[in-house]
A and B are shown apart, each in its own frame.
Chain A
Amino acid sequence: MSIVRPYGDTTGDGMVQLSFTLPIPHDKRAEGAAIQLANKMGMDPAMLVHAKQMGDGYTFFVVYGKVTHLVDTDKVQVVERDFPLLSAKEVNAAIKRRLRRRLNVVGACIGTDAHTVGIDAILNLKGIAGEKGLEYYSELSVTNMGAQVSVPELVETARERKADAVLVSQVVTQRDAHLQNTLAMSAAFREALPAGKRPLLIVGGPRFDELMASELGVDRIFSRGTTPREVASYLVHALAGGAQ
């Protein structure tokens, strides 16, 4: 059966619950507005089960009701990540098994960009959104060069540390600085190191288009919302032949 509806306590009843806030004080009109929203969202009939004013001009509502929509599970489209998302334990185990040494990562913000927020979120132990950064992974050896690192410095450090992967963060996008800097960086690595010796080049930042990797001469681009675990999983996928 590919057509389904939500389940409350009886097959096919279509019941859902919903909570939200409207920026108006609590009165009869506010309750009507809440029902109207629920109706427009496809809940019919909608039962307002709770309304509570918060502060001066806001009201919180809980609504239960029947939705009129059907969903067709055959028509669900899923975009698959091209590498599996691993836990920290799996990442460490895969590196240990495949590389038999720690994987070296060098990270930096290049150019005049002083925003280390991205690179720190990914690399620092503190991490982001409840996920620890790459420093947390025992099998990753992380060098965070910080902000305003020049391309030659980055290449030199990557060489010195025998970097398997180089992570570059670019937040500032004025006059396409993020694209220019990335191009300069990838060109410098191509010039300095032969193909087999080049580290994996990864850039990240909120304004990158993830599809531009080959155009910019890098192996991977990560955009807004990327977490350290995704980066670690990708490193394993690209450098340690995946988790298997």
Chain B
Amino acid sequence: MHGKLDLDATVVARARELAARAGQPVVDLARSHTTVSVERAVLRLAGVQGADPDGIPWVNRLVDAVRSDVGLGHGVAVPVFHAMAASGVEDVTVLAQKAAAGSVRFALPEKKAELTAARRRARRAATAGLKMIDRRRSERDRLIKRYGDPKQRPWIYLIVATGDIYEDIPQAQAAARAGADVIAVIRSTGQSLLDYVPEGATREGFAGTYATQENFRLMRAALDETSKEVGRYVRLTNYASGLCMPEMATMAGLERLDMMLNDSMYGILFRDINPIRTFVDQRFSRQIHARAGIIINTGEDNYLTTADAVDAAHTVTVSQLLNEYFAHEAGLADWQLGLGHAFEINPEVPESFRLELAHALLARELFPDAPLKWMPPTKHMTGDVFRGNLLDGFFNLAGALTGQGILLVGMMTEAVVTPWLSDRDIALQNVRYVLNGAGNLHEDFVPGEFIRGRANQVLSEAIDLMERIVDDGLLNAIADGTFGIMKRPADRGKGLDGVAKQDADYYNPVTEGLE
């Protein structure tokens, strides 16, 4: 499958080297800052559970209390575990409740022995959380061994999004029985901008279902049943994005989710989340994903929905290279990198399908060991469902022909309705037909000059752009609107007030366990 495009190995190496140079300053930034959400994730791992009567999680209340007493720059672990010793409270959730009521104050230990003791207790609690994630990971390995992986590549990825977890469950189970290998539960619109994670099972959402730890648990348990029934391990996906990215990753690890949407720049560009907040949260969440054996899905498809898919093809490559760099730096292995790309070229463009093949094959050959995530057409889907079904067929064929790892099933009713039962059935029939009839066609597919030329051209445009980013600095490039068309300066955007510089005595027992 490799080497069909004659990519020059020195050019590819140059691309990776540029990605590392562009990414390094951002990694340094991430390592020297913390955020309210990183600290809340630490507390979740250390055992803080539940929410107050208004639905605000105790982790939020506790981080807010610590922050108002001693700031965020030391990390919350030491002040929290020091206060536990000082106040004699044994349970960290109880401490959060007391702190919220104003009956506990936080301070930094004055004596070295107290500091050492607080760190030791924090480490013990956080390690227990990480061990839970480890247990979930081995549980997944066991279940995959027992039930098996999907027989074919690409894995078939389907979305459910009713807003009601108890409706989602039968729909997800039906989708799995009909052939879906991966179920993604779309989140409610606007959840990415909530600075807390809702609690409990939820029954109403806007165009999606709230991501909560209880919803994660319910859906995973239901899919475990279905995995047993269909004789293959059905994977579950949610979103580690938005203002609570580190907590989402943590909850995913604790509830054995298998894949998480986790892009390095999506929140910045498309949700106007502060760039520093995003990069700090992202690094922590990727470290958790690495530990939990979760496959991340990146969001390059989104660039192509705003910009032209031919003109902006190289921005996808640049983003994939950056996502790869950040992912490797955080400890993720190649098999965990579901780098995204999409079939979004205007079908009226001459040779559009050959261009799609060139772009898809470029991603395949640049990242030979990553399970690429191949996203269906959305931008050029109209109310003409018949044409839409044909376009989805060609999308499926391009996926098979270029060896994509994860195929998000396209719906002919894209842009018309949220998928009906019958839409999903027709879409899966489309996928099955293509994979049955042409699943191994890549063995016979040898691209000619047109496709090879186009792929090499996109790669060289990507390198040009990357050189500009390295000169300019990634944060400045984002501020100047290099990606997509949005200008996102580092001192603006949502969630900036939740970012703090780490002090010299910053301590984070989870990061310590993950580095």
Contacts and interface: CB of A to CB of B under 8 A. Distances in A.
Interface stretch (B4-12, B420-428, B506-514): B420-428
Given A117-B190, A121-B189, A130 B415 contact: yes
B433 interface: no
B378 A144 contact: no
> Which 8 A/B pairs are nearest by Cβ-Cβ distance?
A117-B190, A60-B422, A54-B425, A55-B174, A126-B270, A130-B415, A117-B189, A117-B206
Interface residues of B, number: 30
Contacts of A68: none
Given A54-B425, A60-B422, A130-B378, A120 B189 contact: yes
B178 interface: yes
Interface in A11-55: 19-21, 52, 54-55
B178 A116 contact: no
A146 B192 CA distance: 13
B206 A124 contact: no
B177 interface: yes
B269 interface: yes
Nearest to A133: B270
A125 interface: yes
A150 interface: no
A226 interface: no
A124 B422 CA distance: 32
A135 interface: yes
B270 A125 contact: yes
Contacts of B421: 21, 54-55, 58, 60
A116 B381 CA distance: 27
**Most chain A CB within a 10 A radius of its CB, from B270, B378, B381, B420:** B270
Given A55-B178, A117-B189, A126 B494 contact: no
Contact of B425 (A60, A124, A130, A135): A60
21 contacts: A19-B422, A21-B422, A54-B174, A54-B422, A55-B177, A58-B421, A116-B190, A116-B193, A117-B206, A120-B193, A124-B272, A125-B270, A125-B272, A125-B486, A126-B270, A126-B271, A126-B302, A128-B189, A129-B415, A130-B379, A138-B485
Contacts of A125: 269-270, 272, 306, 484-486
User: Which of B178, B206, B484 has its CB near the most chain A CB atoms (within 10 A)?
Assistant: B206
Nearest to B266: A126
A220 interface: no
Contacts of A132: 306
Interface of B: 174, 177-178, 188-190, 193-194, 206, 269-272, 302, 305-306, 378-379, 381, 414-415, 420-422, 425-426, 484-486, 494
A119 B414 CA distance: 23
> Which among A114, A115, A130 has the highest number of chain B CB atoms within 10 Å?
A130
B272 A144 contact: yes
A136 interface: yes
Contacts, number: 63
Contacts of B378: 130
A121 B207 CA distance: 11
Interface string A215-229: 000000000000000
Contacts of B178: 54-55
Contacts of B177: 55
A54 B175 CA distance: 10
Interface in A123-167: 124-126, 128-130, 132, 135-136, 138, 144, 146
A121 B485 CA distance: 18
A125 B488 CA distance: 12
Given A54-B421, A129-B415, A136 B306 contact: yes
Contacts of B206: 117
A179 B135 CA distance: 52
Contacts of A144: 272
A52 B420 CA distance: 15
A220 B415 CA distance: 27
A124 B420 contact: no
Contacts of A136: 306, 485
A231 B134 CA distance: 50
Nearest to A132: B306
Contacts of A21: 420-422
Nearest to B426: A60
Contacts of A128: 189
Nearest to B494: A146
Nearest to B193: A116
Contacts of A114: 194
A69 to B, nearest CB: 22
A124 B302 CA distance: 13
A80 B420 CA distance: 31
Nearest to A130: B415
Interface in A42-90: 52, 54-56, 58, 60
Contacts of A55: 174, 177-178, 421
B132 to A, nearest CB: 31
B425 A115 contact: no
A186 B426 CA distance: 50
Nearest to B171: A55
B348 to A, nearest CB: 16
B331 to A, nearest CB: 29
Contacts of A58: 421
A141 to B, nearest CB: 11
A21 B194 CA distance: 37
Nearest to B270: A126
A144 B190 CA distance: 13
Contacts of A52: 425
Given A54-B422, A138-B485, 18 more contacts: A20-B422, A54-B178, A55-B421, A58-B421, A60-B422, A114-B194, A115-B190, A116-B190, A117-B188, A117-B189, A117-B206, A120-B193, A125-B270, A126-B270, A129-B415, A130-B414, A144-B272, A146-B494
A226 to B, nearest CB: 14
A8 to B, nearest CB: 16
Contacts of A126: 270-271, 302
A124 B174 CA distance: 34
A62 to B, nearest CB: 10
A124 B189 CA distance: 11
